[in-house]
Amino acid sequence: MLVNGLAIGMLYVLIVLGMDMILRGTRILNFAHGQVYMLGAYAFYFTYLVFHLHFVLALILSGLAMLALGALSYLGVFGFVQRRFTPGTPFSYRLLMSAMASVGLMMILQQGTLLGFGTKERGIPSIFPQLLTFGSVRLPLERLFIVLISLLLCLFLYLLFFKTKLGKAMRAVSFDAEVCSLLGINTFWVYLLSFGIGCALAGIAGAIVAPVFSVSPDMGHGIITAALLVMMVGGIGSYKGALVGGLVIGLLSSFGFQFLGQLSQVLLFVFVIVFLIFRPGGILGEAHD
């Protein structure tokens, strides 16, 4: 049960990290993120089950596929939307335009998947069906795997942000994009990659989860609500907050569901709102606005 909570928590962390990356990097609130998660699961389904590739390869391909999807979306849609903004455009207007564009994409992706793949839930046999047994404690290996991969990705992101030139550029751009373009940083590529990597994260999250939950078109909806909830608790745009918030919410929902069933949802929300009254910035505060 604990591991389950951890797994769900890390899952949320991945998704929210992706959204945060997109938000901080490109100032876009990506409502289509849930659909990217779902498509990552589908990609895994196809590469693993249909094409019979090794699961690691399938994972990587799913991630890459979603990276491509993200990059294409930015190229085709968001890039144009953002190019129109002048320094004088109010922030609310920019936010709305890009958020609405993402909503449109969400609808297209959602319905497209429904039409293309049908409503049938597809199951994937568990890759690690074993249980580790420590005395009386039984840990499902599958969930541990999720946690492990998530941690690996977090490590990868950390290295990316703090050790590579690209990472530094991304951080700089998220701080002040105008100055960066004056300094010669190619902001377009930074935006493109921020969006792409953010989507890749969601895609991988979907892929590793695919064997655990079944792959269906509904996956996107619930996850985005959870992701936004986590963002609220952890602080909008804060990476550390995503980590902490994701784990907190993941553990809470896992335990809550165990004990309270459906009602746990409502209580969770109420808890968040009450929490916000006392700490409007979330656990670690708003990274920037």
Partner 1 sequence: MRLTISWRTSGKLAGLLLVLAVLVLLPLVIRSPYLIHLLIMTFIGVVLGMTFSMLFSTGLITLGAAAFYAIGAYTSALLTLNAGLSFWLALPLATLMAGVIALLLGSIIVRNPGVAFVVITFIFNAVVVEAAGGLRQLGGWGGILGIPRPDPIPLPFYGPVEFITKTPYYYLMLALLLLIMLVFYALYNSRIGRAWRAIKLSPALAETLGINLYRYRLLAFVIASSAAGVAGSFYAHYFQSIIPEAFGGWTSIYIQLYSVLGGLDFYLLGPAIGAAIMTFLPEFLRVAKEIEPLITGALLVMIILFFPGGILGTLRQFPRLGPASLSARLGEIKNWLLSGRNLR
Q: Which residues bind partner 1 (CB under 8 A)?
A: 23, 29, 77, 80-81, 84, 90-93, 95-97, 99-101, 103-108, 110-112, 114-115, 225, 228-229, 231-232, 236-237, 262-263, 265-266, 269-270, 272-273, 276-277, 280, 286, 289
Length reported for the chain: 289
Please report how close the Cβ of residue 204 comes to partner 1 at its closest, in angstroms.
Answer: 23
Please report how close the Cβ of residue 101 comes to partner 1 at its closest, in angstroms.
Answer: 4
Please report how close the Cβ of residue 254 comes to partner 1 at its closest, in angstroms.
Answer: 18
CB 17 within 8 A of CB 242: yes
Q: Which is nearer to partner 1, 2 or 266 (CB)?
A: 266
Locate 121 and state its tokens: 């839930």
Name the 3-class secondary structure at 215: strand
Q: Which is nearer to partner 1, 259 or 289 (CB)?
A: 289
Integer angstrom CA distances of residue 134 from 33, 66, 139, 143, 243 = 37, 37, 8, 15, 27
Cα torsion 57, 52, 206, 173 to 10°: value is 30
Please report how close the Cβ of residue 172 comes to partner 1 at its closest, in angstroms.
Answer: 20
Q: Which is nearer to partner 1, 134 or 259 (CB)?
A: 259
Q: Which is nearer to partner 1, 95 or 172 (CB)?
A: 95
Q: Which is nearer to partner 1, 42 or 44 (CB)?
A: 42
Locate 126 and state its tokens: 């568990």
Q: Which is nearer to partner 1, 62 or 110 (CB)?
A: 110
Neighbouring-strand partners of residue 134: 137
Output Rg (C-alpha) for the chain, integer angstroms: 19
Name the 3-class secondary structure at 74: helix
Please report how close the Cβ of residue 100 comes to partner 1 at its closest, in angstroms.
Answer: 6
Please report how close the Cβ of residue 14 comes to partner 1 at its closest, in angstroms.
Answer: 18
Cα torsion 19, 25, 27, 32 to 10°: value is -30
